[in-house]
Amino acid sequence: MRHIIEKANEIREKYGIDDLELLASKLGAEVVELPLGRIIKEVYIKDEGVIVIDPNLHPYKKRHLIAHGLAHHLFHRNMKVNYFLDERDDRFNYWKQRRQEKEAEVFAAYLLIPEDKLNEKLREEWVKESPDPIPELAEEFRDCQLKAVHDVIHLSDVFGL
């Protein structure tokens, strides 16, 4: 997973993360907004290099899904179409896709939430005192994907960062 994190840091330092659609275009991907309905969360179309997101999502959620889709673009281009995990798929695809989804989540988390900045935040008094600092931290990093923030905190522990 370390190479995923390093790539996220490298891209953020090189291009910045203020405008993720612009960032995507610099990496050869295009972000398209199309209503996806309730079941499918995100789509990455490999042949077109297109990340499809639902226009009705919260702006922070969009940021998260663009970052997530970028990971598929950068690391998983051998997949045909990526969509919300479907457990009816055969076992092999199920496990393969599960790993790729996890990689995409780690990439998104580290792209949007720089670990040094997060660690700085975690040392602040209010974080230590708050029973649930996650919503405020999510706001701070413009990423409402709370799971991602959790993951980063967890991974920070795992890697001793």
Question: Residue with structure tokens 């991907």?
Answer: 29
Return the number of the residue (11 or 108) whose C-beta is nearest Zn ion. Answer: 108
Contacts of 92 (CB under 8 A, 6+ apart): none
| Burial class, 128, CB count within 10 angstroms (exposed 0-12 / middle 13-18 / buried 19+) | exposed
Return the number of the residue (31 or 104) whose C-beta is nearest Zn ion. Answer: 104
Return the number of the residue (43 or 133) whose C-beta is nearest Zn ion. Answer: 43
Return the number of the residue (24 or 133) whose C-beta is nearest Zn ion. Answer: 24
Q: How far is the CB of 97 from Zn ion (least distance, A)?
A: 8
Return the number of the residue (97 or 153) whose C-beta is nearest Zn ion. Answer: 97
Strand order in the sheet with 50-53: 30-33, 50-53, 43-45, 81-82
Q: How far is the CB of 20 from Zn ion (least distance, A)?
A: 15
Q: How far is the CB of 136 from Zn ion (least distance, A)?
A: 27
Residue nearest to Zn ion (CB): 104
Contact call for residues 108 and 23 (beta carbons, < 8 A) = no
Q: How far is the CB of 63 from Zn ion (least distance, A)?
A: 15
Residue 161 to residue 153: CA distance in whole angstroms: 10
Summarize as ranges the residues that interact with Zn ion (CB under 5 A): 82, 101, 104
- Side-chain-facing half-sphere of 18: CA atoms under 13 Å: 3
Q: How far is the CB of 127 from Zn ion (least distance, A)?
A: 29
Q: Which two tokens stand for residue 50?
A: 């297109």
